[in-house]
Amino acid sequence: MSGPLARLVRQQRRRHADGLRLAAASATIVGASTVLLLGLSGWFLTGAAIAGLGGLAAAQAFNVLLPSAGIRLLAILRTAFRYLERLSGHAAALKALAAIRPALFAALAASPPAEAMALSRGEASARLVQDIDAVETRFIRLSAPWGAGAAVASGVAMAAGASWASALVAAVSVAVSLVSSRWLARRLSVRTGPAIQQATGALKDAMAAYVAAAPELRVYGVQDRAAAEIEALGVDLDTLRRKAVAAQGWLVVLQGLILGLAVALTLVFAQSAAQPLAAMAGLAAAMALEGLSGVTKAFEQDAGADAAAVRLDTVLKHEPSEAGARAIAERKSLTFGDLLVEPGARLVLTGPSGCGKTTILERLLGLRSFSKSAHPGIRRDERMLLLCAGQEPSAQTRSTFAYAPQDAVLIEGTVRANLALAGAHAEAAMWNALTDAGLEARVRDMPLTLDTWIGENGERLSGGERRRLSLARALLRDAPWLLLDEPTEGLDPATEAQVVARLDARLKRTGQGLILVSHRAAPRALCDQQLPIASPRAIG
């Protein structure tokens, strides 16, 4: 396994090496003690039965205490170290996954906007949840070969006590079981594993989309159609899962056949040995094969884990940058074609709906790629920070702007949590931003003020309140330029006038520049420069 995910996995294995070593050592003890326990139990019960049939003298001569003590010791060891194996192994795996998920999120945030924004909610969730869970096997199964090796070694050694032929049968059966199980697992699960991951993402996508559109579904009376689509996706997922279970069933059948044949042949070749030793050899061979269960389980999960690794590598290849967190103190001018916008100036982009005004803002932020034929051109001179057409803005470039989009997106959480997206600020600064956005009085009336929960995407707020909270978040960001896209849309005239007046006062106080998109007269009156956008072709 190679690639960004492989490097992360190796890094986490080194970091949690102690826990993984403890899990491997515990698995070794569990594998050996399990086989020894059953083999010794078989020998003890068979020997006791024969002694009992041999009469009182034979029964009295049979040593009961020593084998009983050995059985109790092995049972205690098996129970204690199985608990320790699960505890240490899963603890190491969970800690590793807790480090990998933030790394994946950081890489997703650092990926090119066109790539990141192409991921739907369901696909992003599948990467962060299902795909990472599939990678968990890369840690959990590290102890499986050790336990399997100890079980096989113990089983072969106990079978050798009856005859070397019995030991050879046990060893060959283990090899045949490993090879055939790996072949069959790959053949049966290579399609179902990745397909289950994709089907789960599709189902999550549909659920997220229809839950968000629940009011519209009720209004237009299409709940049944939406439910039928979700049901069809659920049926597809269940079908794939049944195929996966069927594949596991064939593996169980194959292993059962090999186990039965191995035990039978072991007993045949142990005929010359004493009956207790023959019983011990047969049970030891059976338990040696049972000890492979952890390894064969890993074979079943390989296809899904490999497919998950490929998908994760496409995201993890992007390296996060720390530069985006630093604001740029120096104020730079912007050039739009032949129009130069000096620091602190105010420019409104005008034109009919659909002509590309929002697209220009998104290109400034690097949320869309530049077109070489784009007009008005966004080019660089000796005073400019923006990049030329065909180049991607850097994280440092993006930090030049504070942005309140037309479709305000809020995270599920509190008012404070949403404002904190603009960076770490004192509470007084948050209240000042809320005041300038015309939302301070509303937040103070909330039960917990800044710590009031506003629900998913601010569902407990009105549309105008969500827009003003997005504006307050943009005002908090310490950036030379403020990009506002329809900041007063949906506000009543009195509230709009208040927001515009406070925004004007803030811009005068801070000297911050403004790039505005608005169809409303009140906010457009803030600007002293205008750039008409004639048609969609004008922006490439």
Instruction: Report the candidate in 363, 366, 367 with the shortest Cα–Cα distance to residue 377.
Output: 363
Which has the higher per-residue pLDDT, 83 or 320? 83
Q: Give the model confidence (pLDDT) of 468-502 as tens digits.
A: 999 999 999 888 889 999 999 888 999 999 999 99
- Residue 348 CA to residue 529 CA, distance in Å, equals 6
Q: Averaged over 238-253, what is the pLDDT?
A: 86
Quick one: how far is CA 409 from the chain centroid?
22
Are 312 and 6 contacting, i.e. CB atoms less than 8 angstroms apart? no
- Give the neighbor-by-neighbor strand order of the sheet with 529-532: 401-404, 481-485, 513-517, 346-350, 529-532
Choice among 215-219, 267-271, 295-299, 300-304 with the minimum mean pLDDT: 300-304
- Helix extents (H) in 161-274: 164-212, 214-220, 223-269
Query: Who contacts 68 (Cβ-Cβ below 8 Å, separation ≥6)?
Result: 44
Which residue's entry shows tokens 């949590």?
Answer: 417
Domains and their CATH numbers in the chain: 4-320 (1.20.1560.10), 324-539 (3.40.50.300)
Say which residues have a Cβ less than 8 Å from residue 493's Cβ, sequence separation at least 6.
522
Helix (H, G, I), strand (E, B) or coil at 317: coil
Distance between CA atoms of residues 282 and 262, nearest Å: 8
pLDDT at 137: 72
Reduced to 3 states, what is the DSSP secondary structure of residue 340? Answer: strand
d(CA 162, CA 156): 10
Strands 481-485 and 401-404: parallel
In this predicted structure, the answer to whether residue 209 has a pLDDT above a threshold of 50 is yes
Closest CA to 92 of 16, 165, 8, 187: 16
